Every structure is written in structure tokens, then in C-alpha cells.
Structure 1
Amino acid sequence: MPKRSIDVDDEVFAFLQSQSEPLVDTPNDVLRRLLLESSGHPSATTAERRPGDLLPFINAGLLKAGDKLIHVQPRRGLTHEATVTPDGWLQIEDGRAFSKPSPALKAQTGVDINGYGKYVLKTDPDVRLQDLREQLRGGA
């Protein structure tokens, strides 16, 4: 497909950056997701993006699409929720999707946090994502 160039102002570029997964998404990826996927355009399916880090968990039966992961910040009175997508990504409350847990949790909390260590299953808060990763690796 031929490449085209467009000029955007600083405000639009800052918005594109806020909607991207750092070091993963290009501005084109963000525009594709925002414009084509949200409109239901047939050329913009999730099959076009690479599998997320949680796909092996789904394939092993440890997670399923639609499962909810939460992180509770009791002192701040906040609970952050992310939904596992069929391709192993995490979709957070504002609609953004991340291929890895830690960037998803950082987008929610504003600080670098180990998503594997802090996200827990909403249906069983005693089970951390890290516990499932250890099971996946054969450690449990």
C-alpha cells in the first residue's frame, strides 16, 4: 500500500501519543485503531495487530477473553479494571488496549508498576497475574 504523509499540529500529535502504547504503536497504528476500528471498517480488525502477551494464558486455559483483571489502590480509593481481549491484549476503562500488562497499568495509575505483580483476577483477588504466569511456566 502506498504511504502518504500528513501534517498534524502539536495538540493532535500529543493526543496520538496519549493513545499509543509506547515503543509499540506508530501514529498510523493509533489512527487506524481510532478511526477504522471504532467505525467497524472491515479492513481494521484485531487480527491485524500482533498477539498480546496474555494470548499464551488464553491458549493454556488460564484466562479467557472477557476476563477482568483489577488493581486496587486502597489509600487512593481507586480500583482499576482491564479486560482480556481475544488476542491477548488488555483493554482498560478508557478504551485503550495494551499488548502488555505493565504499560496498561501505568496508563491507569500514572506510575511504572509491575502489571504481572499487581493485577489480580476480579473473580478471585487472591490470584495475581504473576501466579498465572508461574503456572504457565510450569512452576506451580
Structure 2
Amino acid sequence: MPKRSIEIDDEVFAYLQSRSEPLVDTPNDVLRRLLLGSAGRLPAVTAERRPGDLMPFIKAGVLKAGDKLIHVQPRRGLTHEATVTADGWLEIEDGRAFSKPSPALKAQTGVDINGYGKYVLKEDPGVRLQDLREQLRGGA
């Protein structure tokens, strides 16, 4: 497929960066996803993404695709939600997907934060993602 060059301004580039998985997506990947969606991808271009960090949780049966994780910010009156995908990624409210919990939570809160320590199961808010990770390691 021939390559074309386009010029975009800083604001558009910043938007593309905000919708990308760092060190994974190119600006073209983001544009393709935003403009064509999954149905518009050509078979030759569609490649399965690598499994996310939550895949071992899914394989062990402690999480499943569709499970919801939340982080509550009571002083700000905000609750952030992320959905576990079948390939072990987290998809946040705006549709972006992240292979790791901490970058997903940073995208939601705007600050570096430990996703394992702060995300809890929506169905059982007493269980942190960190608790499940320790369970997998044999610590619980």
C-alpha cells in the first residue's frame, strides 16, 4: 500500500497522542481506528494485538472479558470505569484501550497512579486488582 504524507497541526497531533497506546500505536493506527472503526479495517492490515497484562487473570479465571473495574475519587465526585477485554486489555469510557492498568487510570485521572492498587472490582469493591494479582502469585 503506498504511503502518503499529510501535515497536521499541534492540536490535532496532541489529540491523536491522547487516543494512542504509547509505544504501540502510530498516528496512522489511531486515525484508522477513529475513522474506519473495526469494521473498516482491511484483513491485510488487521493484526491481533498482543495480550494485555490482565490476560493471566483471565486464564486463571479470576477475571473475565466484560468485567468492570472502577476507581472512585470521592473528593472530586468522580467514578472511573474500565472494562476488561477478551485479550486482557482495559477499555476506558472514551473507547481507548490500554494493555496495562496504570496507563489506563492515568488517562482517566490525569495523574500517574498505580492501577493495580486503585482499581477495584465493580461487583465487589472490596477487592483490588492488586489483591487478585497477589492471589495469582500465591500470596493469598
TM-score after normalising by structure 1? 0.88
1:66/1:133 CA distance change after superposition, 3 Å: same
Aligned length: 139
d(CA) in 1 for partners of 2:109, 2:101: 12
Per the TM alignment, residue 68 of structure 1 is displaced from its structure 2 partner at its CA by 0.2
RMSD between aligned alpha carbons?
A: 2.0
Which amino acid counterpart does residue 88 of structure 1 have in structure 2?
A: G
1:48/1:28 CA distance change after superposition, 3 Å: farther
Matches within 5 A, 1:1-140: 2-38=2-38, 40-43=39-42, 48-140=48-140
d(CA) in 2 for partners of 1:121, 1:88: 15
**What is the aligned-residue identity percentage?**
87
Secondary structure of the equivalent of 1:48? Answer: coil
Range moving further from structure 2, 88-97 or 115-124: 88-97
For the Cα contact (< 8 Å) 2:32–2:41, is it kept in 1? no
Per the TM alignment, residue 3 of structure 1 is displaced from its structure 2 partner at its CA by 4.0
For the Cα contact (< 8 Å) 1:36–1:43, is it kept in 2? no
d(CA) in 2 for partners of 1:49, 1:6: 26
Per the TM alignment, residue 111 of structure 1 is displaced from its structure 2 partner at its CA by 0.5
